[in-house]
Amino acid sequence: MILLSSLLVHAYALEPAYADTNRLREADERFKAGQFGEARRLYEILLKEELDQLLYERLQQTYLALGLAKQARALALRYRSAGFEDSWPGSWHCDMGMIAIQAGDIDELVTHVDALSEIDLSLRPRDSRTVECLAFHEVFVRRFDAAQRHLEWLAATEFPDDPPPNLAFLYLRQGRFEDANHILSRAERNAAEAVAANPDDPEPHFELGEFAAMRGDAPRAVASLADAMNRGLGQTWWIYQHFDPESIPDPVFEPLYGHPDFEQMRASVVKNRTQMQEAQSD
């Protein structure tokens, strides 16, 4: 499933007042280059000096990039116990849900979905980020009806001209093909325009692959994902969740499981991350 950009927050626009700005700059460069093992080493050094939201977010994403769900969970608990408040309502539970997905822990994911649901019910007005994360996680726990209601609220209140593509996936499950095609056609057009504007950006290629998977077109989905991989998709921090065989399966990608080319891509990313982990333990 696709998370909207509001939840894939990179804190790189912030300028922290650290004494060791050179090390922070180097860590960020390593992270952006997909050198997650080295980025982890540098961020952990910085975090010993000071725990704050900026470093928490960066190291959390680095752990997830490496498939280190246990370390990511420990860091999230440490952050919580230090008394930091959510950056938006339910953001900590959203983080913990992402970790649970990667860890393959459905019971823990349900716990955080329930917490997000309670937070959403308590908010008036509602917070779109809370609703978005809740809907994202509800799909992974197969609460499709609830996810649809939340995505329909987002479409009506936040994105009336550009409904979330995930809503199309849920409509397809119901046989609402016309409604789904309306959403997917717009999303595919936007992604194709992004590819035309910047062919080397892997993300719109990935999106085209995901949209094709939603339509059940495995060959086209795999071809677009291969295009994304050839343009550096494997070096993005968030992709490991989709390819890690230990993660809770993403319902969108399930039609691709077992496809030789898709499995080869998964194996390539897992091997790359394993090598990074092993290099850090040497």
3-state SS, the chain, equals CCCCCCCCCCHHHCCCCCCCHHHHHHHHHHHHCCCHHHHHHHHHHHHHHCCCHHHHHHHHHHHHHHCCHHHHHHHHHHHHHCCCCCCCCCHHHHHHHHHHHHHCCHHHHHHHHHHHHHHHHHCCCCCHHHHHHHHHHHHHCCCHHHHHHHHHHHHHHCCCCCCCHHHHHHHHHHCCHHHHHHHHHHHHHHHHHHHHHCCCCHHHHHHHHHHHHHCCCHHHHHHHHHHHHHCCHHHCHHHHHHHCCCCCCCCCCHHHCCCHHHHHHHHHHHHHHHHHHHHHHC
Q: Does position 5 have pLDDT exceeding 60, yes or no?
A: no
Residues of the chain with pLDDT > 70, as a percent, come to: 92
Query: Taking 70 as the threshold, does the pLDDT of residue 272 lie above it?
Result: yes
Q: What is the pLDDT of residue 11?
A: 41
- Supply the mean pLDDT for the chain: 90
Q: What is the pLDDT of residue 282?
A: 55
Closest listed residue to residue 217, CA positions, set 243, 185, 253, 192: 253
pLDDT tens digits for range 76-128: 999 999 888 888 999 999 999 999 999 999 999 999 999 999 999 999 999 99
Residue 261 has pLDDT above 60, yes or no: yes
Residues 233-259 have a mean pLDDT of 92
Q: From CA 171, how far away is CA 187, in angstroms rounded?
A: 15
97, 11, 88, 146 alpha-carbon torsion, rounded to 10°: -40
Q: Report whether 152 contacts 167 (CB < 8 A).
A: yes
The pLDDT confidence band at residue 256, using thresholds 50, 70 and 90, is very high
Tens of pLDDT along 21-65? 888 999 999 999 999 999 999 999 998 887 778 889 899 999 999
pLDDT tens figures, 141-159:
999 999 999 999 999 999 9
The sign of the dihedral angle between the CA atoms of 167, 107, 129, 35 is negative
pLDDT in tens, 192-232: 999 999 999 999 999 999 999 999 999 999 999 999 999 99
pLDDT of 87 reads: 87
**For 127-147, what is the mean pLDDT?**
97
Amino acid identity of residue 46, one-letter, is L
For residue 14, pLDDT beyond 50: no
Please give the pLDDT value at position 99.
96
Read off the tokens for 141.
Answer: 């726990």
Assign 2 a pLDDT band (cuts: 50, 70, 90): low
The Cα angle at residue 63 between residues 59 and 68, in degrees rounded to 5: 155
Q: Both tokens of residue 86?
A: 């959510």
pLDDT at 12 over 50: no
